[in-house]
Amino acid sequence: MNLLEKPSLPERLAAIQQRVAAAASKSGREPAGIRLVAATKSQPPEVVAELFTLGIRDVGENRVQEAAAKQDALGSHGIWHFIGHLQKNKAHAAAHRFDWVQSVDSLELAQALSGGAVNLGRTISVLIQVNISGESSKFGVTPEDAERLARGVNGLPGLELHGFFTIAPYADDPEASRPVFAGLRGLRDLVQENTGFVLPILSMGMSHDFTIAIEEGSTMIRIGTALFGPRKTRIAR
């Protein structure tokens, strides 16, 4: 590759996969146990189609409408994850468009998703979003309320609860995220012990801190910038 050229999507993906393998090895795990969700916000359908040709099946979107446009362009390909904040009034649309909703943060939202899934004859995989860091700018239940919500969500018709989701505060040093990820893993372990639920999925880690997340037990990472490069800043008009 010419040093002046930007890495291609296959090259970026290969570099990420190498880092996943290294982080998994460091923590005594198999890379196959870590699922890569491509965060495709603002990426056109052609880029998502290229991901499919590279073997990436999991696609993460923050907005129902944007995901719907891409799905309509691409047909019935891929496994679609909602990874943004979901409003209750869009739960039925999300149940129609997504296989996973990672950001369930209230029983009311879960019940609305459940109703949408049942009406559509679908089963949606869900995660509970926990605000481990306590940042006021982030959504998610408090760690203290996570078990209560898990008990409420588990068993709702049309939903399958698989685990937890969190977003660590951004920091220049990825190591700053480690306590957040360790905290979510510890919380998951406690909820499993108290409830008997099987909750294998920990969705944690993004482009800047996914190796730390893997070392702390992440089974699902959400990667955007490391795959596609920095998003273009929208110019105000």
Lowest model confidence (mean pLDDT) among 1-10, 60-69, 126-135, 176-185: 1-10
Whether 237 shows a pLDDT value over 50: the answer reads no
Q: Write down the pLDDT at residue 236.
A: 39
Q: Write down the pLDDT at residue 24.
A: 97
Q: Is residue 22 part of a domain?
A: yes
* Residue labelled with tokens 């880029």: 47
Q: Is residue 233 part of a domain?
A: no
Q: Is residue 4 part of a domain?
A: no
Q: Write down the pLDDT at residue 230.
A: 82
Q: Is residue 176 part of a domain?
A: yes
Any idea of the CA torsion for 24, 187, 182, 81, to the nearest 10 degrees? Answer: 50
What is the mean predicted confidence (pLDDT) over 173-196?
97
Per the structure, the count of domains in the chain is 1
The residue segments making up the domain with residue 205 are 9-228
Q: What is the CATH number of the domain that holds 205?
A: 3.20.20.10
Which tens digit of pLDDT belongs to each residue from 137-151? 889 999 999 999 999
Q: Write down the pLDDT at residue 141.
A: 97
Greater confidence (174 vs 2) lies with 174
Confidence band of 234 (pLDDT split at 50, 70, 90): very low
Whether 2 shows a pLDDT value over 60: the answer reads no
- Whole-number Å distance between alpha carbons of 165 and 202: 6
Which class for 235: exposed (0-12), middle (13-18), buried (19 or more C-beta within 10 A)?
exposed
Q: Write down the pLDDT at residue 49.
A: 97
* Residue labelled with tokens 């146990």: 33
Q: Is residue 3 part of a domain?
A: no
Which tens digit of pLDDT belongs to each residue from 11-47? 999 999 999 999 999 999 999 999 999 999 999 999 9
Considering the chain, what is the average pLDDT of its residues? 94
Q: Is residue 120 part of a domain?
A: yes
Confidence band of 235 (pLDDT split at 50, 70, 90): very low
Reported pTM: 0.93
Q: Is residue 90 part of a domain?
A: yes
Distances (CA, A) of 162 to 127, 155, 199, 201, 222: 6, 12, 5, 6, 16
Distances (CA, A) of 109 to 79, 159, 223: 21, 12, 25
Q: Which amino acid is at 4?
A: L
Whether 5 shows a pLDDT value over 80: the answer reads no
Which tens digit of pLDDT belongs to each residue from 92-151? 999 999 999 999 999 999 999 999 999 999 999 999 999 998 887 889 999 999 999 999
Q: Is residue 210 part of a domain?
A: yes
**Left if phi > 0, otherwise alpha if psi is -120 to 50, otherwise beta: which for 18?**
alpha
Q: Write down the pLDDT at residue 94.
A: 98
Which residues, 6+ apart, have CB-to-CB distance to 79 below 8 Å? Answer: 57, 58, 59, 99, 100
